[in-house]
Chains A and B, each alone.
Chain A
Amino acid sequence: MSTRLLAAAVTAALLLLTTSAHAADKKVIRLWQTETEPQTMAVLNQIAADYEKTHPDVSIKIEGLAWGDLEKKLTAALAAGAPPDATHGQPITCVSFAAKGLLRPVEDLADSLGKDNIVDAFRDLCRWQGRTYGVGHSPASSVFVYRKDLLAQKGLKVPKTWDELIQVSEALRETKDGQVVRYGLTMTGAPLFVNIGIGELLKTNGGRLFDEQGRPTLTSRQVIELLDFYKKLNGVLPPGWTGHGYLDTFANLANGKAAMLYQAYGRGVGYIEKYAPKELADPDHYAVADKVVGPSGKSPAAQLDCEPWMIFKDAKGGAEAVDFLKFFFRDENYIPYLHSVPIHLLSIKKSTYKNPKYADNATIAKWRPWVDMQEKYFRNDWIKPVLVTDWSDMQKPYLLEVMGSGILVDMVFDSVKGMPSAEAAAKAQKRVEELLVQGGYLKK
């Protein structure tokens, strides 16, 4: 019995080995990116196919990886010395890689988009020692969404400050037979988004996470106020919010279980269209407003969601990848890409906005206020990438480790679970300092 099976198994294994080794007539260019929705993947694959028509010697392979997955996949790939040719990543990831000499400069790609054609804030998305290492694929900012009809019903004004947000949330809470049927506010407890929220809220409070020398400033007054604010938020959010994923908050909003959503993105429009009652699914009901400002802050702020394309220096297909990306950014390809998730994928090129083909999209026409709000934040430079509270933070190569460690998230949760804010802040400060010392970024 075993001999024959053994032979069969060996044959099968050999077959596998030979078929999986690609016959290398075409050069395979691998790109990893974070847009995983089927319609976006379809558009990307179409763009790749079009490119291959004029470049028959290359084969473009685009993979969609979930946000949370990307950094881990890159880690594994880099650890084994086999990264893709090009990849998306958070801006801080890009800077971290550039600082360690892993990336190829991409001024040629940036220039192909047209000088002065990129919004100022995005030009410096991934710069290290004077050179550009990343070009954003498409910007979006987080938005604050509220049910205009419900606020009007109760005669409430749109909140502009942290305290007002709490008051309005409490006023919007509705109970029936002792059960809460609607919460005023919903927020997600997913670690990535808590990191985002910390950066955003701190910025609206005029605070910073790191000082000029790179030391963490978690024991500053603004951070303590932030932790106190989270305590108050914990009182108006649904009790299970720490377990709510990003999409649970959209479900809550679409279903009417919550009246306001602090961290929404254009992608949520798709969710609302799909799950909210038809008569409510429009921007007159689900309206956007400015982000609230903290007691020590002056202007609103939102997180910039714009993963840059970066090219690995040692990638064999680096030059071809850049060439393909230039093709990708041409309006005839770029606009279908943007249209695949209309309110979320906005254009990184100013010229595309002026292109009438871009505006020729039903969803964009309908949900225009959501697009305009994000545009406003781009123009006013009220946007920063995750964990970046000041553009100079982008020069710090350790933000990636800080994000991955989850120390800041733990700080918020400690505070929410009852630890005094000052104590939670001090504990996090110590942990971040230790992390930076271990990584050699800070002298003890």
Chain B
Amino acid sequence: MPSIADAAAPGAPGVLARPRRRLSPALLGLLGILPALVLIGALILYPVAYAIWLSFFDKHSFFPAERWIGLGNYARLIRDPEFWDSLWKGTVYAAGTTALQLGFGLASALLLHRAFRGRTAVRALVLFPYMIPTIVAVIVWRWLLNETFGLVDYVLVAWGLARQPIAWLGVDHIMTSLIAMSVWQFAPFVTLSVLARLQTIPLDLYEAARVDGASAWARFRFITLPQLRAVMFVVILLRGIWMFTKFDTVWLWGEGAGAGAEIRTLPIYAFMRTFTYYQAGFGAALSVIMFLMLMAATGLYFRLFWRDEEKA
């Protein structure tokens, strides 16, 4: 998995030596990056700027009238208990799912790195949860966890692990089932990233260690883990960001189920403010706050965990 190191580092070495006849390398470079910049500008930067602009207004979602209120939405936001509640839920969700995805993903990758028969098939199977559309995953799991007709509760009760069918989508357990389902869906991303990196670790490192008498655990601790450091850095960052801003999975999990309020994370809350409370300005402010928090968290993350060796 490419590392963040590459983004911040001075980049690829050197300039091509041969002088160009027609266009200077700098100009060619600019031309090459131009389409990407245009698309990113139009599709991301402009909408983001619009959203920031919108957050300074009190605007109904579909009636044209709008009223400048400066930082009014932000002031309201701070005083809004639902905002803090959704922030808490969003953080719990992001932290819980990221940690579990890392754990399972790492373990799976280590396992799949070993040679055994049928490894190819197992690898493809393990990737499958990540590849299917969220809606399919949600539908299947909601059906599996249905406490009247689903397989999971039937097995739990039949094997005596639960006295009554557990209401996985009811107010008590919906956050748990959501986290479990999200881990199932996204852990393969971690597996893939770690596995790819594992396959580039030179085998002679392990050989040398074995010759020196190092145990399996020691080999893991002193060879594998350090080699994985850089990829783990990136994976934690990306999964953290993506789980914090996750909309599809959370929304579809709670759709049409009464306990949706229990999993009202920050992205969901921002969506609701725009599309069901019809307060577009306030919804935009919530998105901006989400973005600012992520920027701050990322900055902190780099400061704490970035090591220069990463880019060697």
Q: Verify whether A and B have any Cβ pair under 8 Å.
A: yes
* Residues in A lying within 8 Å of B, measured CB to CB: 6, 68, 71-72, 74-79, 100, 102, 178-180, 188-191, 194, 238-246, 248, 251-252, 255, 257, 400-401, 404-406, 409-410, 413, 416-417, 435, 438
Name the A residues within 8 Å of B277 (CB-CB).
Answer: 401, 404-405, 435
Using A238-B147, A242-B167, A243-B168 as known contacts, list a sample of 14 further A-B pairs with CB atoms less than 8 Å apart, ordered by residue number in A.
A6-B35, A76-B275, A79-B280, A189-B258, A239-B164, A240-B148, A240-B168, A241-B258, A242-B169, A242-B258, A404-B272, A404-B277, A404-B278, A435-B277
Report the Cα distance A191→B259, complex, angstroms: 9
- State whether the Cβ of B19 lies closer than 8 Å to any Cβ in chain A: no
Query: Of residues A74, A179, A189, A251, which shows the largest number of chain B Cβ atoms within 10 Å of its Cβ?
Result: A189
Partner of A244, one of B257, B272, B275: B257
- A sample of 20 inter-chain contacts (CB < 8 A) reads A72-B276, A102-B63, A179-B164, A188-B258, A189-B170, A238-B148, A238-B167, A239-B165, A240-B169, A242-B171, A242-B257, A242-B259, A245-B256, A246-B256, A404-B276, A406-B261, A406-B272, A413-B258, A413-B259, A435-B277
B149 contacts A by Cβ under 8 Å: yes
**Residues of B241-284 contacting chain A, CB below 8 A:** 255-261, 272, 274-280
* Cβ contact within 8 Å between B259 and A180: no
Q: Is B146 an interface residue (CB 8 A)?
A: yes
Of the candidates A194, A252, A257, which one forms a contact with B258 in the assembled complex, judged by CB atoms under 8 Å apart?
A194
The proximity string for B residues 13-56 relative to A, scoring 1 for CB distances below 8 Å and 0 otherwise, is: 00000000000000000000001000000000000000000000
Chain A binding surface SS class? helix
- Please report the C-alpha to C-alpha distance between residue A36 and residue B278 in the assembled complex, in whole angstroms: 25
The residue of chain A having its C-beta at the shortest distance from the C-beta of B58 within the complex is A438
With A74-B62, A179-B157: A243-B169 Cβ-Cβ less than 8 Å:
yes
Top 10 A-B pairs ranked by shortest CB distance? Answer: A189-B258, A240-B167, A243-B169, A78-B62, A404-B276, A242-B258, A243-B170, A240-B170, A245-B256, A242-B170
Please, what's the 1-or-0 string for B136-151, where 1 marks a CB less than 8 Å from any CB in chain A?
A: 0000000000111100
Contacts of B170 in A (CB 8 A): 189, 239-243
Contacts A79-B280, A257-B148 given; does A189 touch B259 at CB 8 Å: yes
Contact of B259 among A71, A75, A243 (CB under 8 A): A243
Counting chain B residues whose Cβ lies within 8 A of the other chain, the interface size class is: 20 to 34
B48 to chain A, nearest CB (A): 17
Instruction: Tell me whether B61 and A100 are in contact (CB under 8 A).
Output: no
Q: How far is the CA of A100 from the CA of B60 in the complex (A)?
A: 11
Q: Least Cβ distance of B192 to chain A in Å?
A: 25
CB <8 Å contact, A79 and B62: yes
Known A238-B147, A239-B167; contact A409-B280, beta-carbon cutoff 8 A: no
Tell me whether A417 and B171 are in contact (CB under 8 A): yes
CB distance from A431 to the nearest CB of B (A): 9
Contact partners of A71 in chain B: CB under 8 A: 275-276
> Nearest-CB distance from A184 to chain B (Å)?
15
B232 within 8 A of A: no
- Is B174 positioned at the interface, with any CB of A under 8 Å from its CB? yes
How many angstroms from the CA of A404 to the CA of B62 in the assembled complex?
14
B174 to chain A, nearest CB (A): 7
Alpha-carbon distance between A180 and B165 when the two chains are bound, in angstroms = 10
Closest to B171 in A: A242
Residue ID in chain B nearest A431 by CB atoms: B82
Residues of the A chain whose Cβ atoms lie less than 8 Å from the Cβ of B258: 188-191, 194, 241-244, 409, 413
Residue contact B61 to A78, C-beta cutoff 8 Å: yes
Which B residues lie within 8 Å of A78 (CB)? 61-63
Task: List B contacts of A246 (CB < 8 A).
Answer: 256
> Counting chain A CB atoms within 10 Å of each CB, which of B35, B76, B157, B169 scores highest?
B169
Most chain B CB inside 10 Å of its own CB: which residue of A74, A75, A438: A75
Kindly state the separation between the CA atoms of A243 and B170 in the bound complex, as whole angstroms. Answer: 4
A239 to B163, CA, bound (A): 13
Are A243's CB and B261's CB within 8 A? no
Which residue of the partner chain B has the closest CB to A2?
B32
CB distance from A100 to the nearest CB of B (A): 5
The answer to whether B275 and A251 touch across the interface, beta carbons within 8 angstroms, is no
Which residue of B164, B169, B278 is within 8 Å of A401 (Cβ)? Answer: B278
Contact of A243 with B278 at beta-carbon distance under 8 Å, contacts A74-B62, A190-B257 already known: no
Cβ contact of A406, chosen from B35, B274, B276, B279, cutoff 8 A: B276
A422 to B148, CA, bound (A): 33
Residues of the B chain whose Cβ atoms lie less than 8 Å from the Cβ of A406 = 261, 272, 276
If A68-B255, A79-B280 touch, whether A240 touches B147 (CB-CB below 8 Å) is yes
- Is B261's CB under 8 angstroms from A409's CB? yes
Q: Give chain B residues whose Cβ lies under 8 Å from the Cβ of A180.
A: 164
- A240-B165 in contact (CB<8A): yes
Contacts of B62 in A (CB 8 A): 74-75, 77-79
- Cα-based distance from A243 to B259 in the complex (angstroms): 6
A410 (CB) vs chain B CBs: closest residue: B261
Q: Closest residue of chain A to B282, judged by CB?
A: A438
Least CB separation from A73: chain B residue: B275
Residues of chain B from 147 to 183 with CB closer than 8 A to chain A in the complex: 147-149, 157, 163-165, 167-171, 174
With a cutoff of 8 Å between Cβ atoms, the chain B residues found around residue A74 in the complex are 62
Please give, as numbers and ranges, the residues of chain B lying within 8 Å of A409 by CB-CB distance.
258, 261
**Which of B146, B256, B259: most chain A Cβ within 10 A?**
B256
Interface flags, B54-82, vs A, CB<8A=1, else 0: 00000001110000000000001000000
| Chain A contacts for B276, CB-based, 8 A | 71-72, 404-406
Q: Cβ of B274: which chain A residues have Cβ within 8 Å of it? A: 75
Q: Name the residue of chain A whose CB is nearest to the CB of B35.
A: A6
Residues of B near A255 (CB, < 8 A) are: 148-149
Residues of B within 8 A of A179 (CB): 157, 164
Pick from B61, B165, B169, B261: contact of A413, CB under 8 Å: B261
